[in-house]
Every structure is written in structure tokens, then in C-alpha cells.
Chains A and B, each alone.
Chain A
Amino acid sequence: MPDGAGTGLWKDAFRRLKKNPQAIAGAVIIGLFLLVAILAPVLAPYGGDELPGRTEITPTNIPGPGELDAYPLGLDRFGGDLLSKLIWGAQASLLIGVVSTALGLVGGMILGLLAGGLGGWVDSVIMRFVDILLSVPNLLLAVSIAAILGQGPYAVMIAIGVSQVPIFARLLRASMLSQRGSDYILAAQTLGLSLSTITMSHLLPNSVGPVIVQATLTLATAVIDAAALSFLGLGGGRPQTAEWGRMLTYAQSELANSPQLAFLPGICIAVTALGFTLLGESLRESLDPKTRKK
């Protein structure tokens, strides 16, 4: 690689990422949703829990999109403004997705680092523990943990985070093990560097690639799982809380007459997940030596 000489792996990957339309599409989607989430107080006509249209709804009639000027997308069955709730929902969903993935990433990396770095019995104990977590299907694990912790947004974050720990721990460990026999590790050992220095400054930076890719992809799953847990009713809070999954729960009974109440939050979840997936997959491609051409 004549022109790539001297550029780092990440710099190189980023350069390739910028040329990939898939990556750009993903980044734009995520960027837009992030912007909406951050600017929610400015953009949303009403507060997330507010019920401005309480007097407009009747048991048989929920005004839909375009029926009332004050509520462009119509109302929900509690009298909340659908547009405002979608906007505030972006904040809730992204926050839960990012925090839970961060928790899973940190937890998994600590376990993976200990297992891959120390090896021996520490490795065995940690991996058995990870096996136990893996013996329960992912979402079911999250649902059980959320049920133990009691219903609420923090319970959902922790539950999803814990259910992601095994993937990250395994990935980092496997990646570290594959690096262990490398010449540069041998060189570092010959130099007499301590185990912690070798692990932290040599092994870890070289093994973290797949974990970062997985984290991006996991953000998509986290947003979907968070919505699923809220949909099941584990998110806590009041029924009118602006959260996409929660909005779907209460859209169920209005499906025949007001399908938009289910479709719009559902589309928001899917598009956010799509953004993270596109970004994660192009990141994987750009880091994969097999697909790296120029």
C-alpha cells in the first residue's frame, strides 16, 4: 500500500467510511435523530407527558393527522400530541439505547479483558459465568432482569446492558487470544514489560476493533430491545410517557381506527435501528482486511 503507508488502521478505516454511501446514509439518519433528540424542547410543540388535547378526544373518536390545526399528526388516546410524543420519544429511545450499550460495553470489556489478559482460572470462571448468561435467550434475559429490578427506565437500561455483556466479553477475549501469539507481543515480553502494560497498551488497542463494530450494531438491537421492553410494560412511568415502545402498547386497541398511532412510532424505531445497522456494517467492512482494497 504505497499511499496508505504511515496511516493508522482507524484513520484508514475512517477514510474508507467517508466514501461509502451506506455509511453516510447511516450517519445522516443517526445525526438527524440525535438532533431531534437534543432539540426536543425547542422542536416539540408540547411537553412529552402533556395532554393538551384531553378535551378533543372521545372514546369513539381520536382526531387523526390533519384534522386539527393545533396537532398536525393528530392525538393519541390520552389526548397527547402525537408529533410531540414522537420527538420526545427520540430522546428517550436514544438515551436508553446509548446508555445500555455503554453499560454492556464497559461490563463486557472488563470481563473480556480479565479473561483474555489473565487467562488461567480467572478466564475459566469468567467464561463459565458468561455461558450462564448466554444459556438464556437474550431478550428473555433482559426481560427477567428488568422484572427483578422493578419497572422503570433505569431498570430497562441495566437489563439490556447486562444482556449484552456476554457478546462483548466473548468478542474481546477471542480477539485478544488471537493476538496473544503475535510477534509484537513476544517482543514486548522480551523487553520485560509488565503484564498490565502489555495487556493495556499492546493487546487491547489491537483487539478492540471487532468490539467497536459490535457496539455500533448493538446500538440498533438496544433501541429495538428497549422499545420491546417498554412495549411489554417494563419501562415504568405513566401510560402517556413519550417513549416509542410504550406508544405502541397503547396503540394496540386503536389499531382499526387510528393505525398511525402504531405505525409512526414503529417506523421511528425501525429507522433508528436501520441507521445504526448501516453504520455498524460499513464500519465492519472498512475494518475488515479482506474487504480492504485501497
Chain B
Amino acid sequence: MLRVIGKRLALLVPTLIGLSILLFLWVRNLPGGPATALLGERATPEAVERVNELYGFNEPIVAQYFTYMGKLLQGDFGTSINTGRPVLEEFATRFPGTVELTIVALIFAIGIGIPLGYVAARYYGRFVDHSSVVLSLLGITVPVFFLAFILKYLFAIQWPILPPDGRQDPRMDATHVTDFYVLDGMLTGEWDAAWDAFQHLILPGIALGTIPLAIIVRITRASVLEVQNADYVRTARAKGLLEKTIRNRFILRNAMLPVVTTIGLQVGLLISGAVLTETVFAFNGIGRFLRDAIFGLDYPVLQGFIIIIAILYAVINLIVDISYSIIDPRVRVS
């Protein structure tokens, strides 16, 4: 097991180095050079020269790359041009919001997706099955940001039962310990603050979770359909095991394998979707900051955020692979 993890981590290193080289070359090859990108187009040649001197842009490119990598390894991802704060700090303050959002989206997707897919397969060809197929087709084809609009219009404007934007009501005056607002409220005993933060998560969470939901429904349905006719299920029935035992221990457990992999694959989708969802709901997470960085041409932020996201993405996929072997003993042996 450890060897597998070690091997995967070893494979990850060249990929991330490659990515860092690409990102590095990108910023160094910006029109007018990195100094102009920092100072803006109307910078005087003297100012450009000063910045080049200051940041070492005059050094040979290979030397610059190693300096950049050295800093990166020490956790120095540079400074945001727009806010003047360290990139890592900007990431750290916004990441909890996106994590909260992603968790709500995943709970929504898994909590509805697996039961629905399972029921659809069990009642194959019936009404539940057909509606689950249509529903998942819709989930895949309706764009996230459009769905966000629909939800916002229905539940924040037409029937204003949920807040239309933000992470928390600014009038809340909540204490923030961890920057996970829901958790903060629970830790400090400010239950109203926790509840308010949670309400802000519902609409964006549903919008973000719909595509994963659609995919999970399909995979669960297909997987259960395949498993429930397997020989070992027939054998279990012949042995006279309880239907409940057969369903829980034989069908569900085996059918979950592809579903777990799929859930892992959704993480990338969730991060991409967060950029859109957070924009529509003015939700202060990494997605929205990333979008602002694109328009503010904040290259250090783009560069840093992409590397951090790639690392997280890889780590999550690794965790998924490990959990896979926990569910399926056969993977462990081989």
C-alpha cells in the first residue's frame, strides 16, 4: 500500500515540475515582459528597469526559474499585484469558503445521487428509472451558471427564502476563528451566525452540485444494474440470504466501486464550477478571486493559485485511489 502511494507521489513530482515550468515561462513571456505586467503599460523605462533589477528579471532565465522554484518550495508564492498581500495568504483566507461550498455540493450530489441511482436500477424500466435518466441528462446539459441564475431567481428573488449572495449577512457581526463560517459559528456558540452562513451555502451548493449529481446518478444506476445480475448475487440468493443482506452487502458494496472513482473525478469539475458559481452568487471564495485575478491581470495570483489547485487536485485523486482499495480488498492484494 505504502509503495503504491510512494509511486503515485513520485509520478506527481515531474508533472508538477512541468506545470511550474509552463506557468513560469508563461509569465516571463507576457507582452512587454513581467515588469510591464506588474507596472502597467504606461510605465517609464526607468521604472521597468528598477523592477527588473528588483525582481531579478535581468538574470538568465534558468537562474530565474531556480530562484522561483526555491521560493515556491519555501511556501513563497509571490505577492498579489492587486491587493499587495502574499498569494498564499489570499488563498488561505478564501479557501475555507470554497471548501464549505464544495462540501455542501458534494453532500447534495452524493446524498441524492446514490439513492436515486440505486432506486432507478432497482426499478429498471419503470417511471422512477425513466425520470432519473431524464433528470441526469438535464443535469449534464444545463450550464452551471445558468442553473445558478434559475435558483437565484426562484428562491432569492421570486420567493425570497434564501439569501441571494455573499457568504454571510454582513450585519451578523460573527467571530471568525477558522474562516470556515459555519464551523466558526458552531465553535463560538453563535448558532445564528452558523445558520446564516449555512443558508448562504444552499443555493450555490445546489448549483455547483448538480453536474456531479447527474453523473453520480448515472454511474450508480449503471453499476447497480451490472452488479445485481452477477453470479455471486445469484449464489447469495440461492443460499437463501435475506434480501436486505444481499442488497447491502453484495450489490451496494460492489456497485459502489466505480461510484467512488467517479466522485473523485468530480473534484476538478467542482473547482472549475466554483469559478462560475461564486461569480453568480458573489461568494467570496477562491473561484471568484481567480476570476478577478484574470481581469485584473494579477499574474502572481493566477500562477500561484493554479499550482496550489493542481497539487490539491492530485492529492485528492490520490486519496480517492486509496479509499478505493479500502472498499475493495481485491485492489489491495494486487
A interface, CB within 8 angstroms of B: 128-129, 131-132, 135-140, 143-144, 147-148, 220, 224, 227-228, 231-234, 248, 251-252, 255-256, 259, 262-263, 266, 269-271, 273-274, 277-278
B137 touches A277 (CB 8 A): yes
Query: Least Cβ distance of A124 to chain B in Å?
Result: 10
Distance between Cα atoms of A278 and B136 in the complex (Å): 12
B28-48 Cβ-contact flags toward A at 8 Å (1 or 0)? 000000000000000000000
Task: Known A128-B15, A252-B280; judge A228-B145 contact (CB<8 A).
Answer: yes
Question: In angstroms, how far is the closest chain B Cβ from the Cβ of A175?
Answer: 20
**Residue of B267, B272, B280 touching A139 (CB-CB under 8 A):** B272
Stretch at the interface among B68-76, B102-110, B146-154: B146-154
Chain B contacts with A in 119-171, Cβ cutoff 8 A: 137-138, 140-146, 149-150, 152-153, 157
Known pairs A128-B14, A129-B18; A255 contacts B141 (CB<8 A)? no
Indicate if the CB atoms of B150 and A263 lie closer than 8 Å: yes
Collect the chain A residues with CB atoms within 8 Å of residue B140's CB: 220, 273, 277
Q: Which residues of A have CB within 8 Å of B306?
A: 136, 140, 144
Q: Verify B18–A132 contact, CB threshold 8 A.
A: yes
Q: Is B269's beta carbon under 8 Å from chain A?
A: yes
B143 CB contacts on chain A under 8 angstroms = 224, 227-228, 266, 269-270, 273
Nearest A residue to B16 via CB reads: A135
Q: How large is the interface on B (under 10, 10 to 19, 20 to 34, 35 or more residues)?
A: 35 or more
Q: How far is the CA of A128 from the CA of B279 in the complex (A)?
A: 33
A132's partner among B22, B149, B150 (CB-CB below 8 A) is B22
Which residues of chain B in 281-312 are interfacial with respect to chain A, using CB atoms and an 8 Å cutoff? Answer: 290-291, 294-295, 302, 306, 309-310
Question: B99 an interface residue at 8 Å Cβ cutoff?
Answer: no
- Verify B19–A135 contact, CB threshold 8 A: yes
Contacts of A132 in B (CB 8 A): 15, 18-19, 22
Complex interface: chain A residues within 8 A of B15 (CB) = 128, 131-132, 135
For B15, B152, B157, the residue with the greatest tally of chain A CB atoms inside 10 Å of its CB is: B15
The answer to whether B207 has its CB under 8 Å from any CB of chain A is no
Chain A nearest Cβ from B138, distance in angstroms? 8
Chain B residues in the interface with A (C-beta under 8 A): 14-16, 18-19, 22, 26, 137-138, 140-146, 149-150, 152-153, 157, 267-269, 271-273, 275-276, 279-280, 290-291, 294-295, 302, 306, 309-310, 313-314
Complex partner residue of A232 from B137, B146, B275, CB under 8 angstroms? B275
Q: A137-B269, A140-B306, A255-B152 are in contact. List 6 more A-B contacts (CB 8 A).
A: A140-B309, A143-B275, A144-B302, A227-B145, A251-B149, A266-B143
| Smallest CB-CB A-B distances: 9 pairs | A139-B272, A266-B146, A137-B268, A273-B141, A132-B18, A274-B141, A135-B310, A147-B294, A270-B142
Interface core residue of B146, B152, B267, B294 (most chain A CB under 10 Å):
B146
Q: Are B144 and A136 in contact (CB under 8 A)?
A: no
**In the assembly, what is the distance between CA of A131 and CA of B18, in Å?**
9
Tell me, in angstroms, the Cα distance from A37 to B279 when the chains sit together: 29
CB distance from A152 to the nearest CB of B (A): 14
